[in-house]
Amino acid sequence: TAQRDALKQRAAELLRQQQAVLVAHYYVDGDLQDLALATGGCVSDSLEMARFGRDHAAGTLVVAGVRFMGESAKILSPAKRVLMPDLDATCSLDLGCPADEFNRFCDAHPDRTVVVYANTSAAVKARADWMVTSSCALSIVQHLHDQGRKILWAPDKHLGSYVQRQTGADMLMWNGACIVHDEFKGLELELLRREHPQAKVLVHPESPREVVDQADVVGSTAQMLRAVIEMDAPEFIVATDNGMFHRMRQSAPGKRLIEAPTAGNSATCKSCAHCPWMAMNGLQGVVDCLEKGLGEIQVDEPIRSQALGCIDRMLDFVA
């Protein structure tokens, strides 16, 4: 619509005037993803978002995603101004892992190496030895297991148990889940696969085991996008937030993409296949945060410098 185009133009103008760059996740509104790519920003998974923000010369990063992504950007680049379209955009994994409770869990198991998922607060990261994202969790835990380390893992139980099965590592786990991926159903997926015998199945590892076990590819959002582009198959069943389909369709226009089944549909289930917090990001929010200086992320010292350690360790490992 004309109004949308006007907002897009205004946002692009503000980004240019303020020498700001838009760093977006694949689950946010397609207009935001397009704007990021058209203005020299990036659309990616949480690992690449962190790297891109750190390495970009812009003085202002506008992070379109959820709060932990903005915090990671600020932790890595304290001298940059980091803005978010909506500071209330959180994540069920972050909400389900409060720092005080997490610290007590760590205190009770001092012999374990603490590995946390990116989807946590700065305060939780401040207590961790390693941060991982879905794209590097497997290789980092494998590395620690090879060194004979026992692991304390938080907060995602599905990603944790997938990594545990793959590596055989000794992992003590927090009981967290993503409200979006937790809804994908194994039995319904089996039935759908029978209707589409040629389809490859792509699954984000925050999904339950019954779903992960049926995957041809288990990976981060960026890894799933790559699979759609590179794999020689006419159709794909995709178990992740449906925001992902925007970039997949653009990048592999000839391929048929099918949403993996959840128990409900969007009429009966608010978090089925689309993250309510990712959905809080819009063009208006980008315009407002730049025009009014709203939504600035702050991470207090010494939490910031303590949290930096586990992120840097991951980035050095994947470099």
Q: At closest approach, how far in Å is the CB of 117 from ligand SF4?
A: 9
Q: At what angle do helices 137-146 and 303-318 cross, to 10 degrees?
A: 90
* Side-by-side strand order, sheet with 217-218: 217-218, 200-203, 235-239, 256-259
Which of the stretches 172-180, 244-252, 280-288, 295-303 binds ligand SF4 when contact is defined by CB under 6 A?
A: 172-180
Shortest distance, position 253 Cβ to ligand SF4, whole Å: 25
Residue by residue, DSSP assigns 43-99 as: EE-HHHHHHHHHH---SEEEEES-HHHHHHHHHH-TTSEEE-S-TT---HHHHTS-H
**Candidates 28-36, 165-173, 175-183, 306-314; binding stretch for ligand SF4 (CB under 6 A):** 175-183
Peptide bond into 155 cis (omega under 30): yes
The distance of closest approach from Cβ of residue 132 to ligand SF4 in the complex, given in angstroms and rounded to an integer, is: 14
Other beta carbons less than 10 A from residue 251's beta carbon = 12
What sign does the CA torsion over 31, 33, 37, 41 have?
positive
Q: Which residues contact 125 (CB under 8 A, 6 or more apart)?
A: 75, 116, 131, 306, 307, 310, 311
219 to 258, contacts with ligand SF4 by CB under 6 A?
241
Edge to edge, the sheet with strand 81-83 lists 42-44, 20-25, 60-64, 81-83
Q: Is 124 helix (H, G, I), strand (E, B) or coil?
A: helix
CB of 70 to ligand SF4, least distance (A): 12
Let me know: does 115 contact 129? Beta carbons within 8 Å.
Answer: yes
Kindly tell me which residue out of 45, 71, 94, 182 binds ligand 13P, with binding defined by CB under 6 A. 45
Q: Which of 14, 136, 180, 212 forms a contact with ligand SF4 (CB under 6 A)?
A: 180
| Interface positions, 176-205, toward ligand 13P (CB under 6 A) | 178
What mask of x and - would describe binding to ligand SF4 in positions 51 to 70, judged by CB under 6 A?
Answer: ---------------x----
Is 23 an interacting residue with respect to ligand SF4 (CB under 6 A)? no
Q: Is the CB of 39 or the CB of 207 nearer to ligand 13P?
A: 207
Closest CB to ligand 13P among residues 178, 202: 178
Tokens representing residue 148 in the block: 């004979």
User: How many CB atoms lie under 10 A from the CB of residue 82?
Assistant: 25
Q: With CB under 6 A as the contact rule, which of the stretches 37-45, 144-152, 261-269, 274-282 interacts with ligand SF4?
A: 274-282
Q: Which of 33, 77, 92, 207 binds ligand SF4 (CB under 6 A)?
A: 92
The site string for ligand 13P over 94-133 (x = CB under 6 A, - otherwise) reads -------------------------x-------------x
Give contact residues for ligand SF4 (rule: CB under 6 A): 66, 91-93, 119, 178-180, 206, 241, 275, 277-278
Give contact residues for ligand 13P (rule: CB under 6 A): 45-46, 119, 133-134, 178, 206, 220-221
